[in-house]
Amino acid sequence: MKAVRFHEHGDSGVLRYEDAEQPVPAAGEARVRVAATSFNPVDGGIRGGYLQGPFPVTLPHVPGIEVSGTVDAIGEGVSNVAVGDAVVGFLSMTADGASAEYVVTPAEFLAPAPTSIPLADAAALPMVGLTAYQALFDDAGLQAGQRVLINGAGGAVGGYAVQLAKHAGAYVIATASPRSEGRVRSAGADEVIDHTTTAVADAVIEPVDVLLNLARIDADALVALATLVRSGGVVLNSVPMIPTPADEARGVRGVGIFVRSDADQLSRLVGLVDRGELRVDVAQRVPLAELPAVHAKDDAGEPSGRVVVVVVEHQN
């Protein structure tokens, strides 16, 4: 099968589009014929070797932690999916990923794919959708009527976070540059603050119940944003390089987000998509052979928006 792999850690030049052995599902696993995967900032860190601590991969490694596709074979004892099912999944961070024609995964990570959008586009949902969902509801227990500030709402996780918070009945204040302002507004943000021209900490007048930080900002800037959280509120932070501030005296919790694969929650997100209540934004669709160029752009700090890497077009 065709795959993109790296045989050594390094810059995007280590990625090779090449032939690899088709994987075989063991007991409890399913093999998915990949329609698409997607690019995430963490993929660059894993490829570069900076994340061998939390996410140790063996070489050669196939990147790609999100998948959409069709189940093609199942191992012994698998009953939640069958051959021919269209599925989506947030895969293991350390096993070979979905930048290939086939990927093998624990079947328990797979959920039925949405039917209302192209199967390839559905690869833009699993990991980032789950990150937003788990942060807002598992970690913060967000309730209708609460105020949430989403810093970095212009990105992939932010797009889902704004929509999910709004859907839950929260008042959503989002930060976005002019590049992403329209998308964030149409996702449902009540207020949008341009972080390129405005000091966000000065622009929010009333306290918020929940702060969700998704942007790589200075530690001091996050401490300043955390002062906007009311007593008893929550600071959520998805960027592990920045310490998550808390304030015990005021009962403000600090939670470093760590997303986990959860097929039940993913099914709920898929349900929202199919009911037209959650939009899946895709900025670009590129063929598998062009994945190294996507990594190179990210290395150069050039924003590409949400990139879906299409392996097989029109699979379903």
Ligand X SMILES: NC(=O)c1ccc[n+]([C@@H]2O[C@H](COP(=O)([O-])OP(=O)(O)OC[C@H]3O[C@@H](n4cnc5c(N)ncnc54)[C@H](OP(=O)(O)O)[C@@H]3O)[C@@H](O)[C@H]2O)c1
**DSSP states along 190-240:** SEEE-TTTS-HHHH--S-EEEEEE-S---HHHHHHHHTTEEEEEEEEE--T
Burial class (CB in 10 A: 0-12, 13-18, 19+), 268: middle
Residue 25 within binding range of ligand X, rule CB under 6 A: no
CB 32 within 8 A of CB 103: yes
Looking at beta carbons only, is 87 or 255 nearer to ligand X?
255
Near ligand X by CB under 6 A, which window of 59-67, 172-180, 225-233, 247-255?
172-180
Choice from 97, 158, 245, 254 touching ligand X (CB under 6 A)? 158
Query: Residue 192 is encoded by which pair of tokens?
Result: 């949008």
Q: Which of residues 29-58 bind ligand X (CB under 6 A)?
A: 40-42
User: Residue 300 CB, nearest distance to ligand X (Å)?
Assistant: 13
Provide Rg for the chain, Cα atoms: 19
Site string for ligand X, 174-193 (x = CB under 6 A): -xxx-xx-------------
The Cα–Cα gap between 178 and 197 comes to 10
Size of the chain in residues: 316
Site string for ligand X, 58-97 (x = CB under 6 A): ----------------------------------------
Residue 257 within binding range of ligand X, rule CB under 6 A: yes
Residue 114 within binding range of ligand X, rule CB under 6 A: no
Looking at beta carbons only, is 52 or 231 nearer to ligand X?
52
Q: Could you tell me how many residues of this chain bind ligand X (CB under 6 A)?
A: 29
